Amino acid sequence: MDIAEKEKQFQDKIDSGQKIEAKEWVPENYRKQLIRMISQHAHSEIVGMLPEGNWITRAPSLRRKAVLLAKIQDEAGHGLYLYSAAETLGVERGELIDQLITGKAKYSSIFNYPTLTWADIGAIGWLVDGAAIVNQTMLARGSYGPYSRAMVRICKEESFHNRQGYELLYDLAQGTPEQKAMAQDALNRWWWPSIQMLGPSDADSKNSGETMRWRIKVESNDTVRQRFIDRTVPQAEAAGLTIPDPDLKFNEETGHWEIGEIDWTEFYQVIKGYGPCNKKRLRARQEAEHEGEWVREAAKVYAEKQAAKKTKAA
């Protein structure tokens, strides 16, 4: 069977809604696009622990602290589910981690923003995880089985992240004037980056055509973004917080909330490495890799010694 025939069979399978599984024949670019997407996604989960980790020691109560710890541990788990899914495409985990710590790989631009106040922890759970859920629910319907199953699992766990963040911010918004101002300030700073994290608008998205034809993505960035906006605006209202967009209005005809223009210059600046925390995030990952090295080495030597003992005994 020649390549053209194989590609046709592959496309037919995708069009009929079947999942593609590990080790099946796939077009080289399908494999590459997926490795790119899944590894960026995995890196985002791992780097995403850093802005939140910043507040563990300063959580205002034991309850909030336990919740934050559990949430960050989930993010580590999500990173690992995703590396595991990427590996089914024949790439080594070590290679992916190298790409991250050498600065070759991208991760979600939003994690290059700092967490300046405790309210930012609420904003991340509510907005960043809220946007991630909408995106990941879409990706869960995608064509690659291992990625889609990782998404289903992650979405279930994200729901807790989303709710704890909203609860945190809602409580602040019902508190003293200073607490309410802190909540509003967090919303002001995280709103637009959350809108942007769902990716370039459809007109400028260079990977969209192919990824949609292969059902790696089943909806466009703008469609997913609109869903996030429609869900989130009423949640802000319920908390008595104001979305920082003077042009925001409800369109009675379409039933959708319409936002003002998105500042894409900022988005691309941050992606290119000029966000407020890009260097810091990269350095933290490099240090983690370096400082964990002796643990991995020790574990390896221990495993070898145990195995040798067993062979001797036998």
Partner 1 sequence: MSTDQGMLWEVFVQAKPGIPHKHAGSVHAPDAEMALKSARDVYTRRREGTSIWVVPANMISATTEQDADSFFDPADDKVYRHPTFYTIPEGVKYL
Decide: is 274 part of the binding site for partner 1 (CB under 8 A): no
Decide: is 18 part of the binding site for partner 1 (CB under 8 A): no
**Helix 28-47 and helix 278-291: axis angle, to 10°?**
90
From candidates 264, 306, 308, 309, binder to partner 1 by CB under 8 A: 306
Residue 204 or 293 having the CB closest to partner 1: 293
> Residues in the chain, how many?
314
From candidates 23, 104, 206, 312, binder to partner 1 by CB under 8 A: 23
Of 57-65, 69-77, 109-117, 216-224, the window that binds partner 1 (rule: CB under 8 A) is: 69-77
From candidates 54, 84, 188, 235, binder to partner 1 by CB under 8 A: 84
Decide: is 309 part of the binding site for partner 1 (CB under 8 A): no
Decide: is 52 part of the binding site for partner 1 (CB under 8 A): no
Residue 55 or 83 having the CB closest to partner 1: 83
Decide: is 85 part of the binding site for partner 1 (CB under 8 A): yes
Decide: is 25 part of the binding site for partner 1 (CB under 8 A): yes
From candidates 46, 97, 131, 282, binder to partner 1 by CB under 8 A: 97
Min dist. Cβ of residue 168 to partner 1 (A): 21
CB 163 within 8 A of CB 121: no
Distance of CA 145 to the CA centre of its chain: 19
Min dist. Cβ of residue 261 to partner 1 (A): 41
Residue 154 or 172 having the CB closest to partner 1: 154
| Count of residues near partner 1 by CB under 8 A | 33
Decide: is 89 part of the binding site for partner 1 (CB under 8 A): no
Distance CA 166, CA 126 (A): 5
Of 82-90, 174-182, 210-218, 239-247, the window that binds partner 1 (rule: CB under 8 A) is: 82-90
CB 38 within 8 A of CB 22: no
Q: Which residues of 58-67 are buried (b: 16+ CB within 10 A; e: fewer)?
A: ebeeeebeeb
Residue 19 or 180 having the CB closest to partner 1: 19
Residue 85 or 243 having the CB closest to partner 1: 85
Decide: is 150 part of the binding site for partner 1 (CB under 8 A): yes
SS3 string, the chain, reads CCHHHHHHHHHHHHHCCCCECCCCCCCHHHHHHHHHHHHHHHHHHHHCHHHHHCCHHHCCCHHHHHHHHHHHHHHHHHHHHHHHHHHCCCCCHHHHHHHHHCCCCCCCHHHHCCCCCCHHHHHHHHHHHHHHHHHHHHHCCCCEHHHHHHHHHHHHHHHHHHHHHHHHHHHHHCCCHHHHHHHHHHHHHHHHHHHHCCCCCHHHCCCHHHHHHCCCCCCCHHHHHHHHHHHHHHHHHHCCCCCCCCCCEEECCCCEEECCCCCHHHHHHHHHHHCCCHHHHHHHHHHHHHHCHHHHHHHHHHHHHHHHHHHHHC
From candidates 12, 21, 204, 258, binder to partner 1 by CB under 8 A: 21
Min dist. Cβ of residue 290 to partner 1 (A): 9
Decide: is 3 part of the binding site for partner 1 (CB under 8 A): no
From candidates 45, 52, 74, 158, binder to partner 1 by CB under 8 A: 74
Q: Which residues bind partner 1 (CB under 8 A)?
A: 21, 23-25, 70, 73-74, 77, 80-81, 84-85, 87, 92-95, 97-98, 101, 150, 157, 289, 293, 296-297, 299-300, 302-304, 306-307
